[in-house]
Amino acid sequence: MEQLPSDVDVEYYDSEEKLIHKIFGALWDYPFVLTFNGDDFDLRYLYHRALNHFGMKRSQIPIELGRRVCLLKYGVHIDLYKFFFNRAIQIYAFSQKYRNITLNAVGKAVVGLEKIEFEKPLSELTYTELALYNFRDSEITLALTTFDDDLVMKLILAITRIARMPMEDVSRQGVSRWIRNFLHHEHRRKNMLIPNAEDILALKGTTATKAIIKGKKYKGAIVVEPVPGVHFNVAVMDFASLYPSIIKIHNLGYQSILCPHDECKENKVPETTHWICTKKRALESLLIGALRDLRVRWYKPKAKDETLSNELQSWYNVIQSALKVILNASYGVFGAATFSLYCPPVAEATAAIGRHVITQTINKARELEIDVIYGDTDSIFLRGASQDQIETLGEWSAKELGMELDVDKSYRYSVFSSRKKNYLGIFPDGSVDVKGMTGKKRHIPVFIKKAFDQMEERLGKVESPTEFEEAKKEIRKIIRDRYLQLKQRRWGDRPDELAFHVVLGKVPEAYTKTTPQHVRAALVLRDMGYDLKAGDLISFVKIVKEPRVKPVQLASNSEIDVEKYVGYLHSTFVQVLDALGLDFDEIIGLTKLERFM
């Protein structure tokens, strides 16, 4: 068994009451207390035990009990569960490194530490085992804030200062609260009235465009129809912080949109009936613009400034990341009904101007005789553009649009089918950028992913168009091999690698309109006594018999529906084969005639 580190002292107590007193002593003493789920469990539990079982007075308990939070009377309690739960933090600070918000999953993904697993239930552990278990938990929890030179604490501190909120609130609340507090504070500082949400809505109304997706409030970004095929020498240009830049340059805010001045009504937002004030600067435009400029012009360059010490560079980097998180959300909040300065026309105008910007840029590129092969929201993919053409386009954008358009990345070549948000880009060093492809999605069986990874690796080795023929041959082989493996049912002793992994979006009973397959599998598990919650990952395989799915734990090799998996192999690879001019059915040896049989 593992040993406790030699510098760990284990203290024994002969009563729970003494133990609680000791813990409370620490809670009265430490300036910061970190937990993972302390709001809902640890601190709440301690509070109730102290109050109800040991008759302690509230004044003796260092914990302040809230409805959903537990704060400390002396120090700052940060519940890291809430912080890592934050979607904006997950995406922009940790780029989706972790999916499940459990101490084990986050610890493993972020600091490479896992919880200790025992064969027996916690109640049967020896004291030493329990100490080991607890020590590891606290080690992970602490490491989640100390890693990377205290990155998480610095991030919380930076947001605390931008949003002017206590650290307790910053670590628990979402990005819309941060932005709200930031904007509210500036209203007060300028002695401005903070409007009621209903008043903004009544005065500025709702949206004027029709969303492409049913159920959405307004029309969003443009996605350019890709030019299918393999394209060598591709430069990807994008606008730096497109939406925040638009908010800044086009004076967007609840005050300026649909302002009362007649003379502003000419200042229309393209493709809408909205107009924007030409007389007075909106506060949001000013503030979001200021944050954007601070990030782009000060914190980002400083973070890369080699003449500064590493510590200082890292601090600048933390701030620029904090600003990035806030800026990325700064447009979306105006379209969120829960936001206190909710103003749909502002969100709508931002997106509309974005469409105008990207459309004009594409037109200009074509005017400069550059091939635009794809684009999404704020980016354009240019094939075979010269340095000169790229510079000209960038200068044009700065001059005519007032927007910074730069080369974000270059691909040796890229692979597009006719599908949007779905492509491969091969970097000059041979590494591969895969976007939106089925073969990379996390719910897809490992068995299929492996073949996709092989193909990816092979594509990375292709340097020029002439080398493609050889690569195509090998890719055909990769696919055929995998197909034959399936047909001959060679996937191992257990069907583990054939499992799909899908997250339960809600508790199984809450699916009333349809019963998706992962829910069918989940219901089987629940009948066996598993407790299933929203967010749980369900692993299941496809079988021949009804109900066509089975939790992977219960499935045996013989019942696997091989044809279904062939179908998945097909749809995974057809996204790439389309572009390479290859045919799946032909690869797996079906003649044209057999396909119709």
Partner DNA sequence: CCGACAGCCCAACATT
Partner DNA sequence: AATGTTGGGCTG
Binding to DNA (CB under 7 A) within 99-158 occurs at none
- The smaller minimum CB distance to DNA, of residues 376 and 456, is found at 376
Q: Identify which range of 47-55, 174-182, 251-259, 285-293 contacts DNA by CB under 7 A.
A: 174-182
Residue 320 to residue 326: CA distance in whole angstroms: 10
Q: Is 78 in the site for DNA (CB under 7 A)?
A: no
Interacting residues with DNA between 536 and 595 (CB under 7 A): 542, 547-548, 564, 567-568, 571, 575
To DNA, the closest distance from the beta carbon of 579 in angstroms equals 12
Interacting residues with DNA between 336 and 375 (CB under 7 A): 336-339, 347, 351
Q: Is 515 in the site for DNA (CB under 7 A)?
A: yes
Q: Is 272 in the site for DNA (CB under 7 A)?
A: no
Q: Is 67 in the site for DNA (CB under 7 A)?
A: yes
Tell the burial category of 112 from Cβ atoms under 10 Å away from its Cβ (0-12, 13-18, 19+).
Answer: exposed
44, 77, 154, 172: residue in contact with DNA (rule CB under 7 A): 172
To DNA, the closest distance from the beta carbon of 2 in angstroms equals 33
Q: Please work out the total of residues on this chain that contact DNA, with binding judged by CB under 7 A.
A: 77
Q: Is 87 in the site for DNA (CB under 7 A)?
A: yes
Pairing of strands 76-79, 32-35: parallel
Q: Is 228 in the site for DNA (CB under 7 A)?
A: no
- The smaller minimum CB distance to DNA, of residues 135 and 516, is found at 516
- The smaller minimum CB distance to DNA, of residues 21 and 99, is found at 99
- The smaller minimum CB distance to DNA, of residues 99 and 494, is found at 99
255, 256, 272, 422: residue in contact with DNA (rule CB under 7 A): 422
- The smaller minimum CB distance to DNA, of residues 34 and 351, is found at 351
- The smaller minimum CB distance to DNA, of residues 460 and 516, is found at 516
Q: Identify which range of 168-176, 262-270, 454-462, 472-480 contacts DNA by CB under 7 A.
A: 168-176
300, 324, 476, 520: residue in contact with DNA (rule CB under 7 A): 520
Q: Is 333 in the site for DNA (CB under 7 A)?
A: yes
- The smaller minimum CB distance to DNA, of residues 317 and 572, is found at 572
Question: Whose CA is closest to 481, among 454, 444, 459, 509?
Answer: 454
Interacting residues with DNA between 437 and 476 (CB under 7 A): 438, 440-443
Residue 345 to residue 277: CA distance in whole angstroms: 13
To DNA, the closest distance from the beta carbon of 24 in angstroms equals 24
Q: What token pair was written down for 492?
A: 């191992």
Q: Is 86 in the site for DNA (CB under 7 A)?
A: yes
Q: What token pair was written down for 187?
A: 């209203």
Interacting residues with DNA between 12 and 51 (CB under 7 A): none
Question: What is the three-state SS of 181-224?
Answer: HHHHHHHHHCCCCCCCHHHHHHHHCCCCCCCCCCCCCCCCCCEE
- The smaller minimum CB distance to DNA, of residues 110 and 351, is found at 351
Q: Is the dihedral of CA 457, 461, 463, 465 positive or negative?
A: negative
To DNA, the closest distance from the beta carbon of 120 in angstroms equals 32
Q: How many CA atoms lie within 13 A of 426 on its CB side?
A: 21
- The smaller minimum CB distance to DNA, of residues 140 and 432, is found at 432
Question: Whose CA is closest to 302, among 314, 287, 291, 289?
Answer: 314
- The smaller minimum CB distance to DNA, of residues 54 and 98, is found at 98
Q: How many CA atoms lie within 13 A of 549 on its CB side?
A: 19
To DNA, the closest distance from the beta carbon of 267 in angstroms equals 23
* Residues 6+ positions from 403 with CB-CB distance below 8 Å: 239, 240, 242, 245, 249, 357, 397
Question: Whose CA is closest to 169, among 204, 180, 507?
Answer: 180
To DNA, the closest distance from the beta carbon of 331 in angstroms equals 6
* Residues 6+ positions from 198 with CB-CB distance below 8 Å: none
Torsion of CA 275, 281, 322, 352, to 10 degrees: 10
Q: Identify which range of 30-38, 362-370, 487-495, 506-514 contacts DNA by CB under 7 A.
A: 506-514
- The smaller minimum CB distance to DNA, of residues 267 and 377, is found at 377
Q: Identify which range of 48-56, 72-80, 489-497, 503-511 contacts DNA by CB under 7 A.
A: 503-511
**Total Cβ atoms within 10 A of residue 532:** 16
To DNA, the closest distance from the beta carbon of 333 in angstroms equals 5
- The smaller minimum CB distance to DNA, of residues 128 and 273, is found at 273
Q: Is the dihedral of CA 447, 449, 453, 454 positive or negative?
A: positive
* Residues 6+ positions from 519 with CB-CB distance below 8 Å: 504, 508, 511, 538
* Residues 6+ positions from 182 with CB-CB distance below 8 Å: 162, 163, 164, 287, 326
Interacting residues with DNA between 376 and 415 (CB under 7 A): 376-379
Q: Is 420 in the site for DNA (CB under 7 A)?
A: yes
Cβ proximity of 162 and 326 under 8 Å:
yes
**Three-state DSSP state, 512:** coil
Q: Is 203 in the site for DNA (CB under 7 A)?
A: no
Q: Identify which range of 70-78, 170-178, 283-291, 481-489 contacts DNA by CB under 7 A.
A: 170-178
Q: Is 57 in the site for DNA (CB under 7 A)?
A: no
Q: Identify which range of 289-297, 312-320, 481-489, 513-521 contacts DNA by CB under 7 A.
A: 513-521
Question: Whose CA is closest to 24, among 53, 52, 56?
Answer: 56
- The smaller minimum CB distance to DNA, of residues 220 and 289, is found at 220
- The smaller minimum CB distance to DNA, of residues 300 and 518, is found at 518
* Residues 6+ positions from 253 with CB-CB distance below 8 Å: 247, 282, 283, 284, 285, 343, 346
* Residues 6+ positions from 56 with CB-CB distance below 8 Å: 50
Provide the 8-state DSSP code for 546. Answer: T
